[in-house]
Amino acid sequence: MVIVRREGTLEPLVIQRDLQYQLTAGLFRHNDIIGKPFGCKMYSHNKKCTITILAPTPELWTLSLPHRTQILYASDISLVCLMLEISPGSVVVESGTGSGSLTHALARAVGETGEVHTHEFHKERCEAASTEFKSHGLDQIVTSYHKNVCLDGFAVQDKADAVFLDLPCPWDAIKHAVSAFSLDGGRICSFSPCIEQVQKACTALSEEGFEEIQTFEGIERQYQLSRKRIWEPFVGNQRHKKFRSDQRSGEKAGNGWLNAYVKGGPKKDGVGHTGYLTFATLPAKEFLTKELPKDEVEETIAE
């Protein structure tokens, strides 16, 4: 489960009998939490602090997971799942497991009838992610591989409906991604923080026969409401006592009224640039036509 402290901090918590969850202001006994419905608020043994119990979801896991790498957040994850056209029963191949933020969302999207094959070149991160997937009950959907796909390719061949790349050099893995796709082709996404990476990835996608290449940058912009008091001068019959008595929302201030208004506007601080998402479509392999490298094109023209 995921718990929310009074100050709004989210934290994952594994419940086990006879254990305790300790905070500075008080403690919570696991035995008291067992059997409580999700969404309820619980008081500590001394009634000085509270926690709220929430059911674990991919979105809450993204906000509370232990960071082993930089992760994708909900705004980018939602666009990835939409543009890759993932549905129950899909087979998705991921490279760059990292902290497993996206992997949890992919597992929910493909459902019990789908498959997620995720690759990580760092052994310790791969093992930690595999342990989390098993403890979260996803080991029947998610399969983890300790593999460098840029050099050795993917563990899945001729099976994937969608491929996601979160790599420093995605262009080295794109040629291997073609082999991972099923005979019907599919959709690919590459996440890169720098535009130079995007340029090289787009070139590699075009050379391998991918079509409909598009790049997006998602900027999250939250709005907030606030109250503001504005002075308005008396105009015309507003000076009359009867009119002033009808002004329930304001108060008299000299030759005018102070009225309270609610306004909305974007927050000054927030999440800025996270990365670029490049999407492309691989046609069915029987219709696949690869673009010749530049030097080969020049030789063909010369002949």
Q: What is the DSSP string of 201-257?
A: HHHHHHHTT-EEEEEEE-----EEEEEEEEEEE--GGGGSHHHHHT--SEEEETTEE
Which one has a higher pLDDT value, 27 or 298? 27
Average pLDDT of the residues in 90-100 = 95
Q: What mean pLDDT value characterizes the chain? A: 85
Asked if residue 303 has pLDDT above 80, the reply is no
Which one has a higher pLDDT value, 71 or 300? 71
Interval 195-218: pLDDT, tens: 999 999 999 999 999 999 999 998
Give the pLDDT confidence score for residue 218 in this predicted structure. 86
The percentage of the chain sitting over the pLDDT mark of 90, rounded to a whole number, equals 55
This prediction has a pTM of 0.79
Residue 199 C-alpha from the chain's centroid: 23
Give the pLDDT confidence score for residue 146 in this predicted structure. 96
CA–CA separation, 12 and 4 (whole Å): 9
Asked if residue 64 has pLDDT above 50, the reply is yes
Contact between 18 and 30 (Cβ < 8 Å): yes
Interval 74-86: pLDDT, tens: 989 999 999 999 9
Sign of the C-alpha dihedral computed for residues 290, 295, 296 and 297 taken in this order: positive
Interval 99-129: pLDDT, tens: 999 999 999 999 999 999 999 999 999 999 9
Interval 213-254: pLDDT, tens: 999 998 888 888 887 776 666 555 554 444 444 444 455 545
Closest listed residue to residue 293, CA positions, set 175, 181, 165: 175
Closest listed residue to residue 88, CA positions, set 115, 110, 117: 110
Give the pLDDT confidence score for residue 258 in this predicted structure. 61
**For residue 193, what pLDDT band results from cuts at 50, 70 and 90?**
very high
CA–CA separation, 55 and 40 (whole Å): 11
Contact between 79 and 218 (Cβ < 8 Å): yes
Q: Is 233 strand, coil or helix?
A: strand
Average pLDDT of the residues in 265-287 = 85
Give the pLDDT confidence score for residue 85 in this predicted structure. 95
Average pLDDT of the residues in 24-43 = 89
CB atoms < 10 A from the CB of 92, how many? 29
Average pLDDT of the residues in 185-189 = 96
Query: What residues form DSSP beta bridges with 279?
Result: 189, 214
Which one has a higher pLDDT value, 161 or 250? 161
Give the pLDDT confidence score for residue 131 in this predicted structure. 94
